[in-house]
């Protein structure tokens, strides 16, 4: 599912026709929240096994490339959860990808609970009207029964959500946008979350969720081509 807020696209068209100077500025980062978590728990009523692993960047805005794995086993039955994220905040780009996985072979004698969370939220400011290129993909695959499976990438601005892409249950979506953003505060938010239980789980399940995106301010050499194309694209989308 792809959502867009037309009012944000109208403001882009106004910038292009009002004589406001449009330049390739630099992203000024303000806030950073990133984490990956994997959790697995199994019990047969008399014994239990549990593991929770989490990771996050060593410092705000630092490059992050990590994966975590958790497992819980009883009587030869193993519950698995994992999450991974690669993200980088550059002067002219935000680039990130992430995956989450949970899996269980099924058992009539065990209760289980598991989740894999993969989250990224970054806030930044643009001091002047700035052209941008944005592409994103999300995907969810699942076999068996999952309690919760959701993946998303959104860009929000001074007026709220500008556009977003979402997946819930088996799905695959992609998004490509270009335009000009007016000065202000913006937020990029992405995540891939899976959860099941705690419950008796005689059935098997296997779930995977992933996202990837690039938000980029084009180099000066390509900015003119982008600006020439923006009005045509925006007129088409408003029909």
| Confidence at 2, pLDDT banded by 50, 70, 90 | low
Predicted pLDDT of residue 236: 30
Task: Check if the beta carbon of residue 33 is closer than 8 Å to that of residue 76.
Answer: no
| Confidence at 214, pLDDT banded by 50, 70, 90 | very high
Q: How far apart are CA 130 and CA 11, in angstroms?
A: 12
Residue 238 has pLDDT above 90, yes or no: no
Q: Which of 10-24, 43-57, 120-134 has the lowest mean pLDDT?
A: 10-24
Predicted pLDDT of residue 199: 82
Q: Is pLDDT larger for residue 199 or for residue 157?
A: 157
Residue 123 is inside which H or E element, if any? strand 111-126
Q: How far apart are CA 64 and CA 121, in angstroms?
A: 13
Tell me how many domains the chain contains: 1
Each as own residue / partner, the long-range contacts of residues 18-22 (CB below 8 Å, 24 or more positions apart, any chain) are: 20/129, 21/128, 21/129, 22/128, 22/129, 22/130, 22/131, 22/180, 22/227
Predicted pLDDT of residue 69: 98
Q: How far apart are CA 115 and CA 1, in angstroms?
A: 23
Closest CA to 188 of 156, 220, 216, 227: 156
Domain of residue 162 covers 2-237
| Confidence at 197, pLDDT banded by 50, 70, 90 | confident
Of the chain, the percentage scoring pLDDT greater than 90 comes to 68
Two tokens, residue 32 = 């950073």
User: pLDDT tens digits for 131-147?
Assistant: 999 999 999 998 887 88
Q: How far apart are CA 160 and CA 187, in angstroms?
A: 10
Average pLDDT for 75-97: 96
Angstrom distances, CA of residue 117 to CA of 166, 191, 206? 16, 8, 15
Q: How far apart are CA 76 and CA 25, in angstroms?
A: 57
- The model carries a pTM of 0.83
User: pLDDT tens digits for 50-72?
Assistant: 999 999 999 999 999 999 999 99
Angstrom distances, CA of residue 78 to CA of 20, 87, 142, 147, 239? 60, 30, 18, 19, 53
Predicted pLDDT of residue 19: 43
Residue 232 has pLDDT above 60, yes or no: no
Predicted pLDDT of residue 222: 52
Give phi and psi for 236, each to the nearest 5.
-65, -40
Residue with tokens 């894999």: 116
Q: How far apart are CA 100 and CA 81, in angstroms?
A: 8
């Amino acid at each position: 599912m792809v959502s867009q807020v037309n009012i944000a696209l109208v403001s882009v068209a106004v910038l292009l026709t009002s004589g406001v100077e449009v330049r390739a500025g630099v992203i000024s980062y303000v806030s950073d929240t990133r984490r990956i978590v994997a959790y697995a728990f199994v019990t047969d009523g008399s014994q239990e096994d549990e593991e929770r692993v989490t990771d996050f960047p060593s410092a705000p805005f630092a490059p992050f490339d990590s994966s975590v794995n958790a497992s819980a086993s009883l009587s030869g039955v193993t519950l698995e959860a994992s999450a991974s994220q690669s993200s980088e905040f550059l002067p002219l780009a935000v680039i990130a990808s992430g995956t989450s996985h949970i899996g269980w072979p099924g058992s009539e004698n065990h209760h289980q609970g598991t989740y894999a969370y993969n989250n990224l939220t970054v806030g930044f400011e643009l001091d002047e009207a700035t052209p941008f290129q944005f592409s994103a993909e999300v995907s969810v695959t699942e076999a068996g029964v999952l309690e919760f499976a959701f993946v998303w990438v959104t860009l929000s601005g001074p007026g709220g959500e500008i556009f977003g892409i979402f997946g819930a249950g088996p799905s695959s979506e992609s998004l490509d946008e270009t335009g000009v953003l007016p000065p202000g505060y913006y937020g990029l938010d992405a995540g891939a979350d899976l959860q099941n239980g705690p419950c008796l789980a005689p059935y098997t399940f296997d779930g995977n969720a992933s996202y990837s995106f690039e938000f980029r301010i084009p180099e000066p050499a390509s900015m003119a081509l982008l600006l020439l194309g923006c009005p045509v694209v925006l007129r088409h989308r408003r029909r």
